[in-house]
Every structure is written in structure tokens, then in C-alpha cells.
Chains A and B, each alone.
Chain A
Amino acid sequence: MIATTNRHASPREIIPATQSRARVSSIGARSFLLEAPGDFDLIAQRRIWALSQTVRRWADLAENIPGMTNLLVIFKETPEDPDAVVVRLLEAWEHAQSIDLNGKTIEIPVRYGGEHATDLPALCDLSGLSDREVVRIHHEATYRVFALGSAPGFGYLHGLDPRIYMPRKTVPSLKMPKGCVTIGGMQTGVAMLTGPNGWNSIGFATLEMFDPTAQNPAVMAPGDTVRFLPARIEL
């Protein structure tokens, strides 16, 4: 079930879910995804954070997972009237006021280049920039943690300079090491697990960012600010 569809895509374009109105679709019977319209920016994400706080109070909700300008809500049971759920979600979205989260600042030392920067040459080719420029553009920016997901403690970071956007690979790396500093589309992050990964690696970080036995297992939280500090640059 799709509340509104509004999609025009050209090959390899990284597109927002919708151009004008929020869209709600379902995954299976009790999960619903609301995708914010418009640009991929902090303004939209602040409204997603607000929506997340609203739906958290719904008695019939099991879980909600903020994504990148979207929110997945999982109900305790399959709703009797899925259309009513869509209406409820869209109304909550309309009423969601932009909020900011008081995050902490996390500094991540990075070894740019070197053996783990397997995709830096390809990124230079795509962007037309030198490796030095790519690295400088990456570490000079300030990033916000928009959401966590994909692997324990993995933060999706917003704030990547459009000059170094790079689409995910069509054939993922089979065994990308934990710690690789990566770019996936307009997003950047640090790989939390060694394994298959479709993002593009440009460096390496050793900071531990997840501990399952800790009170708060993930170091990053939505709203946090992240700075990458070039510990070493090997080009």
C-alpha cells in the first residue's frame, strides 16, 4: 500500500523518496515506512526526530527506527485498518515540529589513504579531484549523526560535501575490514563490522564504537556531531 507515489528517477541519480509529499509504504504487515519529502538535509531530519518522539508514545507501537529522512515504525500487531495507520502517520508528520537533539561531539582519528583506502582512486576519477583534495574535503567537514543502523553502533553521517558523493558499488567488497572510513552516496560513516560492504573506503579508524555490555552500547546517537581528525595521511 502506497499513500502517495511521486517518483522520477534517472539512472545513477541519488534521489529523495518523494518531491513534494511524505510517502508511507509498508514492509510486510506490521511495519510502515514514512519517507520525508524534499531535500536530504538537517531540516527534514529534525522533523523525523520529532516524529520519532511522537510515535514512541503510541501504545500500539513496538519499535521505531529513524533512518535518513525517514522513519520505520513497527506495530505490536498487524493493524486492523492499515489505511488508518497511514493517515495517522501522515498527520503526525504534518504536526511534527523541527526539533534539535542535544548531541555530544565525537572526534574520530582517521588514517587516510594507505592499504584500507581501496576506493580512493575511483573516487578521484569520479570527482576529478586529487586524493589530497578528497581527503581534505572529507576531514574539514562537520557531520551530524542522522541515524544508526546497518551494523551495531554504525552511524549514518550527514554533511558530506557534494563534490565527493559517490554511489554505492554495484558489486560490494566481500570482506571490508571493521574501521574503514567510507562514503555511500551522500552519506559517510565508519564500518563497524568486517564483512560485505557496498560503500567506498577512503581511510581507517580504530576507535571502538560499540560495546554490547555497556549501559549505552552505541557510542553514537542521533543528533551527535562527528569530526574526523586526520591522524595520518598516506598518499
Chain B
Amino acid sequence: MIEILESGLFNTVQDLGRPGYRDIGVSASGAMDPLAVRIGNSLVGNDENAAVIEVQTFPFSLRFERRTVFAVTGTDGHPHLDGSELIPWCAYMAELGQVLELKQPPRLARAYISVGGGLDIPVVMGSRSTSLRGGFGGNAGRPLAKGDRIAVGEDLEIAMLPATGLAVIEPAVALREVFPAPVDGVLPIRALPAGEHGLFAGDGEAFWSQIWRISSRSDRTGYRLSGEPITPTATIEMRSHGVVPGVIQVPPGGEPIVQMSDANTAGGYPKIAGVIECDLWRLGQARIGARLKFVRSTHAEARAVEQAVARYVEDVRLTSGMVKRALKAMA
């Protein structure tokens, strides 16, 4: 078990999501930074889809009620275990009673806590993710709160962790060739033109050329962007159609909305573009107030990025497994 000692309002249990039910109106949910979840789970020896805690309102702290392997990923901040500073992207062992504390990270938006054995939470419709809109899944369909106790699955590899921890080079560094760094603080996000791009005529170019800011009315469902409004040449209502995270819709006010993990499953607003899936984690780590720019991409580029990410994740999984097996053999 782990016990939540302190939590902000919007911290939830997530895994890689609940796809497959959009046709009955159920959002996929899942972590806003799925890459951090896959890496965190690999480091602690879990299946990459094991349930983790997504922390997006800080400070957050929990107590381990038994010896547990854990890793904090996604964040650029330093977690503390009983007051000692740790590094992110590294698996450690916590002893019974030890307290893990996460403070507001300096730059990024979200941190993920994975534990060896995964959070032992009932699977609802194929996933342990919290559906906040639907009020089911995760921690009884609601965010974590002080006093919540969550069961942890059995950890078969607990004895195999190196005493000093097991770290990985974080994605932003390991994959810097495929994920260009922000320029003057402006995050580049790759997208493809979507169905109604042509309807925006000259404003289509304004969409790509201007710098957008993530407004305070943003959450796991969607990011509202502020900037110079863009308007279509005609006011239309689309027939309702399926949408996915990453879709950039333009409501009548002219300020785009990017649908995120808790994305609606259907939409009717004109779609100007769609963020490529492998760039979504970078948006998931962008905070309110952050500036971004959309960069026109291609299917070929999206494939190349997906393949580079897959190689990195596979490398982490194989290497961490090898290290642990070698240590066990030496023990």
C-alpha cells in the first residue's frame, strides 16, 4: 500500500489509456506524457502500461507502507525521499514508512510516479486510467486526495535493483535529434493540416506563423490557445464526427483548442490541423502560459519520429532488464 499524505486538486491514477471505446463516447484518457509512463514503468520492471500516479498540482507526497521500488519520471524537478534529494528518471528503493515528496518542478508541467508491481487498481473497460468526465476508473473515478490508500501489485524483481538506483537518459536528451528544443522559449509542435484548413484561407497561414500561448482555461481535456484570432471564410456547422487527441479545433471565437488526453470523442467545430501523436507528450509537459508554434509536418516525418521513440523505449526496456539480471547473477 501507499498512502497519500498531501495532494493538489487534479492528481490522478493513469496508464496509457482506454482506447477502443470512443465509438460509445468514452474518451481514451491516459497520461498526458505517455512517454514518461513507459520509461518509468520499464525502469521499475513493470509492463509499460502499468498504472502510475500523474502529478500536475504540487506539492504532492506519499508514504510507502512496505519496501517498494519506485521512479519519478517526466519532471525536471528533484523528488525527495525522507528529505534526501533524488534525481528524476531513476529507479530507487524505498523502505517501509519512507515519504516521497514532489515539489513544483522548475519548468515542466507533470511528474509520474511508477512503483514496482504497478498500482493495483481494478481495470474498468480495459484500463486503470481515471475517467474524470465519466467518474469511473482509477481511484474510484476521482482525483487523489489526502488519506487515500492505494494497493500496489506484487513486485517480482524487487531484489534486483542496484543499491544506488538505476537511471536512464531522459527522452528530451536522448531524443534531442527528433524533438527540437524550444527556440527563444517557443516550443515547436508538429502538426498536419486537417479537414477544414482550406476554409481559413489567409488565416490558415496566420495559424502556422504566429506564436500561441497556452491559456489558463486549459486542462487534461484540452488546451485553449490565446493569440490573434483566426476565422473561417464561412460560418459552418459540421456534422458531428469522431475526433482524437491532438485535433486542433477553432470555435467561433477564433482561438484554437487542442484536444488532449481526456479529449472529447466527437466534435463539430472546424478542424484546422492535427498534432502528430508523438509530439503530444511535449504539449502535455507544457505549462499554462507557455508559448508554442505549430510546425507543418508530414506523415513521413511522423513515422520517423514514432520509430525513433520506439527504438529508445525498447533500448531502455532491454538495458534495464539486462542490468538487473546481471546484478542478480552476481548476488
Contact = CB atoms under 8 A, between A and B. Distances in A.
A168 B199 contact: no
B239 A67 contact: yes
B277 A30 contact: yes
Contact of B195 (A33, A64, A77): A33
Contacts of B239: 16-17, 35, 40, 67-70
Interface residues of B, number: 51
Contacts of A64: 23
A150 B237 contact: no
B235 A27 contact: no
Interface footprint category on A: 35 or more
B133 A156 contact: no
Contact of B240 (A12, A150, A153): A150
Given A9-B235, A25-B195, A149-B265, A33 B275 contact: no
Interface in A9-33: 9-17, 23, 25-31, 33
Contacts of B19: 62-63, 74
Contact of A193 (B21, B133, B237, B303): B133
Contacts of A11: 234-235
Interface string B117-149: 000000011000001011011000000000000
Interface stretch (B36-44, B84-92, B97-105, B242-250): B242-250
Contacts of B193: 1-2
B307 to A, nearest CB: 9
A210 B265 CA distance: 15
Interface in B36-59: none
A170 B235 CA distance: 11
Contacts of A102: none
A154 B193 CA distance: 29
B25 A27 contact: no
Nearest to B22: A65
Interface stretch (B67-75, B172-180, B266-274, B317-325): B266-274
Contact of A217 (B26, B194, B271): B26
Contact of B192 (A10, A26, A210): A26
Contact of B266 (A13, A67, A71, A213): A67
A150 B266 contact: yes
Contacts of A148: 23-25
A150 B265 contact: yes
A78 B235 contact: no
A192 interface: yes
A72 B241 contact: yes
Contact of B274 (A23, A28, A193): A28
Interface in A96-123: none
A5 B198 contact: yes
Contact of A27 (B124, B234, B271, B302): B271
Contacts of B276: 28-29, 78
A67 B241 CA distance: 4
Contacts of A192: 25
A17 B236 CA distance: 10
A29 B134 CA distance: 27
Given A26-B274, A192-B25, A80 B303 contact: yes
Contacts of B277: 28-30, 78
Given A15-B236, A26-B274, A149 B242 contact: yes
Given A2-B195, A68-B239, A72-B241, A195 B25 contact: no
A152 to B, nearest CB: 5
Interface string B5-34: 000000000000001111111100000000
Most buried by A among B133, B195, B236: B195
A27 B134 contact: no
A43 to B, nearest CB: 15
Contact of B237 (A14, A28, A66): A14
A60 to B, nearest CB: 13
B207 to A, nearest CB: 15
B236 A82 contact: no
Interface in B174-212: 191-195, 197-199
A212 B241 contact: no
B242 A67 contact: yes
Contacts of B244: 27-28, 31, 72, 74
Nearest to A80: B303
Given A26-B274, A27-B247, A150 B264 contact: yes
Given A11-B235, A150-B25, 8 more contacts: A5-B198, A26-B194, A29-B277, A64-B23, A78-B276, A151-B25, A151-B133, A193-B134
A-B pairs, 8 with minimum CB distance: A72-B242, A149-B266, A65-B242, A28-B274, A25-B195, A67-B241, A29-B302, A9-B234
21 contacts: A7-B199, A9-B199, A25-B195, A26-B192, A28-B247, A28-B276, A29-B192, A29-B303, A30-B302, A63-B19, A65-B22, A72-B244, A74-B19, A148-B24, A151-B265, A152-B131, A152-B134, A153-B25, A154-B25, A212-B26, A212-B137
Interface of B: 19-26, 124-125, 131, 133-134, 136-137, 191-195, 197-199, 234-244, 246-247, 252, 264-266, 268, 271, 274-277, 297, 299, 302-303, 306
